[in-house]
Chain A
Amino acid sequence: MEAFWIILVGSLIAVSCALLGSYLILRKMAMVGDAISHAVLPGIVIAYLLSGSRETLPMLVGAAALGVLTTVLIELFHKKSNLQMDASIGITFTWLFAIGIILISLFAGQVDLDQDCVLYGEIAYVPLDLWITESGYNMGPRTVWIASGLLLLLLLFIWRGYKGLFITTFNEEFAKALGIGVAFWHYALMGAVSLTTVISFESVGAILVVALLIVPPATAYLITTDLKKMLLLSSIFGILSAIGGYYLASLINGSIAGAIASVAGFLFLCVWVLELLRKKRVISI
């Protein structure tokens, strides 16, 4: 049963990340996703300090606020002072991450977060944190519910906003000409990335969120140019990574989150090499 819950949570998060990541990659914003996933840390700590607990809602608010602040800062440095994009990303997220770590050390007694947890989470604890209703009924692990809620929300967001996201992703100028709110979709997407990051935080940690955000969509992008197929394929690659990661981790007794990222990378490598071979054959024919 434990294996089932862990794989389920891993898959739920992997699919959420894969869906959002597809858009990030197509918008050439892969590293912005990386930056957000690091920069939400101070938001989480501040929410923790203000609310005094590990409640989900304040953390979501804190993280979403910081996520949007990150994109605003990156844009500000980039557009208002001509700092090149990659440098403004690098400066912003390292600064915010440093602030987060400093806050954790400052309030070490009051914040029950440690640095390891921040970086690579602990999905193995998922089955331990059960949601017991007041009548004493066991609803299963709490994270499962939160992750399912997140996935539903994202599916709703992508379903309702498919056109807006599509058009602002592929042809921003055209979207502007049509009067579609480019900025709205931009910040909506960034907000969604922050939410996903913070929900994934406890189970897979900051850096492995990035693996799930970027690697499965990139793998899918190698073999398709159709957005719908890409969304589907990247979700499949995400789920495969979650399943494979769980068994790899139990095989060598290591971090499950690390193993999920490794399997995702392995899948990417396979697809990449196969594509290279296929291209070579096409050329030689």
Chain B
Amino acid sequence: MNSTFQFLSFSDPNVLFVVLGTMLLGASAAIVGCFSFLRKRALVGDAIAHSILPGVCLAFMVSGSKNPLYLIIGAFITGWLSLLLIDGITRTTKLKSDTAIGIILSVFFGVGILLLTSIQHSGNASQAGLDKFLFGKAASLTKDDVYVFGTIAAILILVVILFYKEFKLISFNPDYAKVIGLPVRFLEFMLATITVLAVAVGIQAVGVVLMAALLITPASGARFWTDKLGVMILIATFFGAISGFLGSYISYVAPAMPTGPWIVMCLSLLTVGSIWFAPKTGMLARFRVQQDNQRKILIENVLKLFYHLGEKDGGFKKQRSIKVLLATRDLRMKELKRGLLLLKKENWLRKKGDHWVITESGLNEAKRVIKLHRLWEMYLNQRLKLEPDHVHNDAEAIEHIITPELERQLEKELNYPTKDPHQSTIPYVE
């Protein structure tokens, strides 16, 4: 608890730098990542991250110093080169973009490792620390780093605000953007540039492999909460920043823990949580909707059973045994029993001994479904000129979906028919 207090009070200025630095990195990568995500170029960030390594090494070999400015310039050049090559490979060969990304990512990284190990073996004393680019050094961020990150984050945010509308358009509809005369190539260049920039600085916090997560993971998570780009960017930024904060907190409290991987861990948990639990689009919500639909279809089908049997022998309210019900429709015993119980709960069926009886309200509901089925058959037959023996299967599916509005429209359109194409009566509920 003591260390938590120390951490939160920022009594140690280094803590402040680390927290600020990682939060800035997380936030700026998340902003840029939203656009990469929406343009379906999530893995390009991964390629850039790997391609930066040879640039850093070359910059060091040429300049002989570890001045962050030179290193970032080198990183920037190879990062950009990787983008151009990926584009070139996909344009001029039959290789798909993911293969192109894989080639560039692994080869550039291989070259980077070759150069890095060569530099390390050369015995040049000033090289120590270059390998920070591999795994990041979030725990040892300094004041200078924070200034650099802060400046770059500010530039990124400024560019995104200035070109927000344009970026939005080329993310969703680049063709339209071209048609209305926007400089699409220039805008793509700007987006690519800020992506490379975000990766070049972010990599110093979490390292090569995990950099991709800083870009894509917050955007993917945020996507589940909203359909608005502005809101999505805000949520992603929040995810990025809070993960930066939590990651540095964890590695402060437990010094053996690496900061970068914990940042990614927090991000991933937030995002996987969103994927599961987000309302409407989350996996659970979808599952629930699916369950509800299946339930609705099941009970409507069972209700129809009672109606069909009643239609056959004239006694809608007769008692029916499970055996008879099973013989009428292709249903599994387990499903039928579940349907019967659900209907009992709705008060649409009553159980009498071993037999089941439909209630008044149940009968009305059954009539509604049967009516929709037969109206639709009628519609297909009359308007689409389908043969009567071709319309049943389609109606079997649509009967569960038609809304009351559509129902009224169908009735009107067909002028309140009384018989369906098979000459069965269409029941109307008074």
Asked whether, in the complex, the Cβ of B216 is within 8 Å of the Cβ of A91, the reply is yes
Asked whether, in the complex, the Cβ of A207 is within 8 Å of the Cβ of B50, the reply is yes
Q: How far is the CB of B370 from chain A (nearest CB, A)?
A: 34
Spot the interface stretch: A30-38, A45-53, A157-165, A229-237. A30-38
Q: Mark A104-132, 1 if CB is under 8 A from B, else 0.
A: 01101000000110011000000000000
Asked whether, in the complex, the Cβ of A255 is within 8 Å of the Cβ of B256, the reply is no
Asked whether, in the complex, the Cβ of A211 is within 8 Å of the Cβ of B110, the reply is yes
Q: Does A82 contact B (CB under 8 A)?
A: yes
Q: How far is the CB of A220 from chain B (nearest CB, A)?
A: 11
Q: Does B112 contact A (CB under 8 A)?
A: yes
Q: Does B423 contact A (CB under 8 A)?
A: no
For residue B119, which residue of chain A has the nearest CB?
Answer: A254
Main secondary structure of the interface of A (DSSP, over half): helix
Q: Does A238 contact B (CB under 8 A)?
A: no
Q: How far is the CB of B9 from chain A (nearest CB, A)?
A: 26
- Which of B99, B105, B134, B217 touches A218 (beta carbons < 8 Å)? B99
A81-B286, A86-B42, A91-B268 known; A105+B258 contact, CB < 8 A:
yes
Q: How far is the CB of A118 from chain B (nearest CB, A)?
A: 9
Asked whether, in the complex, the Cβ of A108 is within 8 Å of the Cβ of B275, the reply is no
- Which of B42, B105, B272 touches A34 (beta carbons < 8 Å)? B105
Asked whether, in the complex, the Cβ of B41 is within 8 Å of the Cβ of A86, the reply is yes
A84-B42, A95-B268, A261-B111 known; A30+B212 contact, CB < 8 A:
no
For residue A102, which residue of chain B has the nearest CB?
Answer: B261
Asked whether, in the complex, the Cβ of B106 is within 8 Å of the Cβ of A261, the reply is yes
Interfacial chain B residues near A261, Cβ < 8 Å: 106-107, 109-111, 113-114
Q: Mark A164-185, 1 if CB is under 8 A from B, else 0.
A: 0000000000000000000000
For residue A31, which residue of chain B has the nearest CB?
Answer: B98
For residue B266, which residue of chain A has the nearest CB?
Answer: A98
Interfacial chain B residues near A260, Cβ < 8 Å: 110
Interfacial chain A residues near B215, Cβ < 8 Å: 90
Q: Does A190 contact B (CB under 8 A)?
A: no
CA gap between A116 and B112 in the complex, in Å: 13
Q: Mark B115-151, 1 if CB is under 8 A from A, else 0.
A: 1111001100000000100110000000000000000
Asked whether, in the complex, the Cβ of B264 is within 8 Å of the Cβ of A221, the reply is no
Asked whether, in the complex, the Cβ of B113 is within 8 Å of the Cβ of A258, the reply is yes
Q: How far is the CB of A89 from chain B (nearest CB, A)?
A: 7
Asked whether, in the complex, the Cβ of B213 is within 8 Å of the Cβ of A90, the reply is yes
Asked whether, in the complex, the Cβ of B102 is within 8 Å of the Cβ of A87, the reply is no
Q: Does A192 contact B (CB under 8 A)?
A: no
CA gap between A81 and B113 in the complex, in Å: 37
Residue among B96, B101, B209 with the most chain A CB within 10 A? B209
- Which of B110, B220, B262, B286 touches A264 (beta carbons < 8 Å)? B110
Interfacial chain A residues near B95, Cβ < 8 Å: 25, 218, 221-222
Q: How far is the CB of B66 from chain A (nearest CB, A)?
A: 19
Q: Does A94 contact B (CB under 8 A)?
A: yes
Interfacial chain A residues near B89, Cβ < 8 Å: 272
- Which of A80, A207, A254 touches B121 (beta carbons < 8 Å)? A254
Interfacial chain B residues near A82, Cβ < 8 Å: 281
Interfacial chain B residues near A99, Cβ < 8 Å: 261, 265
Q: Which B residues from 37 to 75 make CB contacts under 8 A with A?
A: 37, 40-43, 45-46, 50
CA gap between A116 and B131 in the complex, in Å: 9
Q: Does A5 contact B (CB under 8 A)?
A: no
Q: Does B237 contact A (CB under 8 A)?
A: no
- Which of B102, B114, B257 touches A31 (beta carbons < 8 Å)? B102
CA gap between A91 and B215 in the complex, in Å: 10
Interfacial chain B residues near A28, Cβ < 8 Å: 96, 98-99
CA gap between A261 and B40 in the complex, in Å: 27
Asked whether, in the complex, the Cβ of A80 is within 8 Å of the Cβ of B283, the reply is yes
Q: Which A residues from 45 to 94 make CB contacts under 8 A with B?
A: 77, 80-84, 86-91, 94
A91-B216, A262-B107 known; A255+B113 contact, CB < 8 A:
yes
A31-B43, A208-B106 known; A95+B213 contact, CB < 8 A:
yes
Asked whether, in the complex, the Cβ of A81 is within 8 Å of the Cβ of B102, the reply is no
Asked whether, in the complex, the Cβ of A215 is within 8 Å of the Cβ of B113, the reply is no
Q: Does A249 contact B (CB under 8 A)?
A: yes
CA gap between A91 and B135 in the complex, in Å: 18
Q: How far is the CB of A216 from chain B (nearest CB, A)?
A: 10
CA gap between A177 and B113 in the complex, in Å: 47
Q: How far is the CB of B260 from chain A (nearest CB, A)?
A: 8
Q: Which A residues from 180 to 213 make CB contacts under 8 A with B?
A: 206-208, 210-211, 213
Q: Mark A239-269, 1 if CB is under 8 A from B, else 0.
A: 0000000001100111101111110110010
Asked whether, in the complex, the Cβ of A258 is within 8 Å of the Cβ of B98, the reply is no
Asked whether, in the complex, the Cβ of A30 is within 8 Å of the Cβ of B98, the reply is yes
Interfacial chain A residues near B45, Cβ < 8 Å: 90
Q: Mark B262-274, 1 if CB is under 8 A from A, else 0.
A: 1011001001100
Q: Does B93 contact A (CB under 8 A)?
A: yes
Q: Does A147 contact B (CB under 8 A)?
A: no
Asked whether, in the complex, the Cβ of B93 is within 8 Å of the Cβ of A253, the reply is no
Q: How far is the CB of A74 from chain B (nearest CB, A)?
A: 12
Q: Does A155 contact B (CB under 8 A)?
A: no
For residue B54, which residue of chain A has the nearest CB?
Answer: A262
A98-B264, A210-B105 known; A253+B121 contact, CB < 8 A:
yes
Asked whether, in the complex, the Cβ of A81 is within 8 Å of the Cβ of B224, the reply is yes
Q: Does A97 contact B (CB under 8 A)?
A: yes
Q: Does A214 contact B (CB under 8 A)?
A: yes
CA gap between A58 and B213 in the complex, in Å: 29
- Which of B50, B117, B220 touches A87 (beta carbons < 8 Å)? B220
Q: Does B92 contact A (CB under 8 A)?
A: yes
Q: Does A276 contact B (CB under 8 A)?
A: yes
Q: How far is the CB of B220 from chain A (nearest CB, A)?
A: 5
Residue among B46, B115, B208, B223 with the most chain A CB within 10 A? B46
CA gap between A213 and B106 in the complex, in Å: 10
Interfacial chain A residues near B102, Cβ < 8 Å: 30-31, 33-34, 210, 213-215, 218
Q: Does B103 contact A (CB under 8 A)?
A: yes
A81-B282, A272-B93 known; A102+B220 contact, CB < 8 A:
no
Excluding A105-B258, A215-B106, 14 further A-B contacts by CB distance (< 8 Å) are A34-B46, A86-B43, A90-B212, A91-B217, A91-B220, A98-B262, A98-B264, A102-B261, A115-B135, A214-B106, A221-B95, A222-B93, A254-B121, A258-B111
22 A-B residue pairs with CB within 8 Å: A34-B46, A86-B40, A91-B268, A94-B210, A95-B213, A95-B268, A97-B261, A98-B265, A101-B260, A102-B258, A105-B257, A106-B256, A119-B209, A213-B102, A214-B103, A215-B106, A253-B117, A254-B118, A255-B113, A257-B110, A261-B107, A272-B89
